[in-house]
Amino acid sequence: MSKNIMDYETVELDDNDSSVVIIDQTKLPGKTEIIRLHTAQEIWDAIYLLKVRGAPAIGVAAAFGIYVLAKGIVIDAGYDSVSDAEEMDFGDFYDKFREQKEYLNSSRPTAVNLSWALNRMETVCLKAGRDEKKSVPKVLKILYKEAVEIKEEDTWVCKMIGEYGLALVKPGDGILTHCNAGQLATSKYGTATAPIYLGHERGYNFKVFADETRPLLQGARLTAYELHSSGVDVTLICDNMSAMVMKNGWVNAVFVGCDRVAANGDAANKIGTSVVATVAKRYGVPFYVCAPTSTIDYDTPTGAEIKIEQRPAEEVTEMWYKERMAPEGVKVFNPAFDVTDNELITAIVTEYGVARAPFQESLAEIRLKKEAAQKNK
Ligand code: MRU
């Protein structure tokens, strides 16, 4: 019997092979292909081409990626193995580490989890190597531990978002989601799908609508696939059908993920999210953004300052089609994300609780809760 997609790890580290192991999400749902990323170019391409995608999964892949590349720095310096590099100069190691970090960080601009995870890795690297004068092999052990922790934390974070999100809905509810903020975008459960999976385990019998999510079809290829494989009642709709299902009264709540939340609660997520939020407001459907605190960018005051990734025209004109579906030479606008204004958002669901307007204050409180929890760890 073939393995269920939910039994695969989205991102793994194979330390012996020095590789990041992912499911190539561009091939789903037709083919489950596991690929190994060894080089900086392979990791960069996998993120840019959305073989691994979704803000938290990108963060985990980047953390494992920089660890794998850090090991490579030692080998490239002429040592036979990492453990032989006791005498390696930390400054030389760090210069190369930083170069690789900047390179990986350039793969996608909008999801803050990418820079968040890489900065976390750099912070422990500097603390151990520069401040505590630990040897490079010891720094590598610390980098390994941090990367594994980033992944493990993500599972806990999603579970908590699921619990807080589940408290906002009731058995039998209709739920609409956009793009894929599911298990394939995280380590487990997903963010927007976490309340759905937890509810499913507890017999809530949700009726889920998954927007197909043009142009890259994450909703059709990934969300509908995940939910259907898990036995959740899911109906796939085209992006332009959300108003109809909401007007029909079939949707009690919208749950979406996000790639970067500004300090004022404006939230960047997959292109089309703000359309769904606008429609939800029109029909009085609560609109919830599920956001791990790693996705909240307190240094970005409003959504206007969030950099939106622009992607190739071919994704709109020919990708997924047997033949090109637009005239040669036509102008194409293909932003990967849009920003939902905070006034359209009912609440932002984090692993430390639910933030409501005014978001400037409520998100600041969430930050304090997180800091207090970390102090008590
Ligand atoms: O371009 P993608 O597929 O990486 O976009 C993904 C999304 O927009 C998700 O909703 C977001 O990253 C949150 S994933 C938990």
Strands laid side by side in the 260-262 sheet:
296-297, 260-262, 267-270, 337-340
Which residue blocks in the chain are alpha helix, DSSP H? 40-48, 55-76, 90-105, 112-126, 136-166, 194-201, 218, 224-229, 242-247, 273-282, 314-317, 359-375
Q: Are residues 209 and 329 in the same domain?
A: yes
Same domain, yes or no: 148 and 195: no
From the CB of 178, is ligand 1 less than 6 Å away? no
**Ligand 1 atom 6: the closest Cα is on which residue?**
54
- In this structure, are 208 and 106 located in the same domain? no
Q: How much distance in Å is there from the Cα of 256 to the middle of ligand 1?
A: 9
Active site residue 89: no
The closest of 187, 376, 191 to 267, measured between CA atoms, is 191
Give the pLDDT of residue 12.
98
Residue 134 Cα to ligand 1 middle (Å): 37
Is 139 in the same domain as 170?
A: no
Q: How many domains does the chain have?
A: 2
Is residue 137 located within the same domain as residue 168?
Answer: no
- 61 C-alpha to center of ligand 1: Å? 14
For the Cβ of 181 lying below 6 angstroms from any atom of ligand 1, the answer is yes
CATH code of the domain containing 66 = 1.20.120.420
User: Which tokens is 120 given?
Assistant: 């976390």
- 375 CA to centre of ligand 1 in angstroms: 30
Q: Choosing from 211, 259, 266, 338, which is the catalytic residue?
A: 259
Q: What is the pLDDT of residue 37?
A: 98
Asked if residue 150 and residue 195 are part of one domain, the reply reads no
Phi first, then psi: give them for residue 57, nearest 5 degrees: -65, -35
How confident is the model over 247-266, as pLDDT tens digits? 999 999 999 999 999 999 99
**Is ligand 1 within 6 A of the CB of residue 111?**
yes
Could you identify the atom of ligand 1 that is nearest to the CA of residue 113?
12
Å from CA of 224 to ligand 1 middle:
15
Q: Which of 131, 157, 183 is the last residue of a domain?
A: 157
Of 106, 136, 157, the residue that ends a domain is: 157
**Tens-of-pLDDT digits for all 377 residues of the chain?**
679 999 999 999 999 999 999 999 999 999 999 999 999 999 999 999 999 999 999 999 999 999 999 999 999 999 999 999 999 999 999 999 999 999 999 999 999 999 999 999 999 999 999 999 999 999 999 999 999 999 999 999 999 999 999 999 999 999 999 999 999 999 999 999 999 999 999 999 999 999 999 999 999 999 999 999 999 999 999 999 999 999 999 999 999 999 999 999 999 999 999 999 999 999 999 999 999 999 999 999 999 999 999 999 999 999 999 999 999 999 999 999 999 999 999 999 999 999 999 999 999 999 999 999 999 88
What is the per-residue pLDDT for 377?
81
Question: For residue 1, what pLDDT is reported?
Answer: 64
Does the pTM of the predicted model rise above 0.85?
A: yes
> For residues 179 and 173, is the Cβ–Cβ distance under 8 A?
no
Of 96, 124, 157, the residue at which a domain comes to its end is 157
Ligand 1 neighbourhood includes 179 CB (under 6 angstroms): yes
Q: Which residues contact 268 (CB under 8 A, 6 or more apart)?
A: 110, 258, 259, 260, 261, 262, 303, 306, 308, 337, 338, 339, 340
In this structure, the answer to whether residues 255 and 208 fall within a common structural domain is: yes
Same domain, 261 and 356: yes
- Tell me if 167 sits within 8 A of 201, measured CB to CB: no
Whether 184 is in the pocket of ligand 1, judged by its Cβ within 6 Å, is no
Residues 141, 187 within the same domain: no
Residue 35: strand, helix, or coil: strand
Specify the residue with its C-alpha closest to ligand 1, atom 10: 257
Instruction: Identify whether residues 233 and 305 lie together within a single domain.
Output: yes
CA 235 to ligand 1 centroid distance, Å: 20
> Is 53 a pocket residue for ligand 1 (Cβ < 6 Å)?
yes
What residue numbers bound the domain in which 146 lies? 5-157
Residue 89: φ, ψ to 5°: -70, 125
Domain with residue 363: its CATH number is 3.40.50.10470
Does 269 share its domain with 352?
yes
Q: From 24, 179, 193, give the residue whose CB has the most ligand 1 atoms within 8 Å, as the site to mutate.
A: 179
* Whether residue 150 sits in one domain with residue 197: no
Per-residue pLDDT tens for 58-75? 999 999 999 999 999 999
Which atom of ligand 1 lies at the shortest distance from residue 309's CA? 1
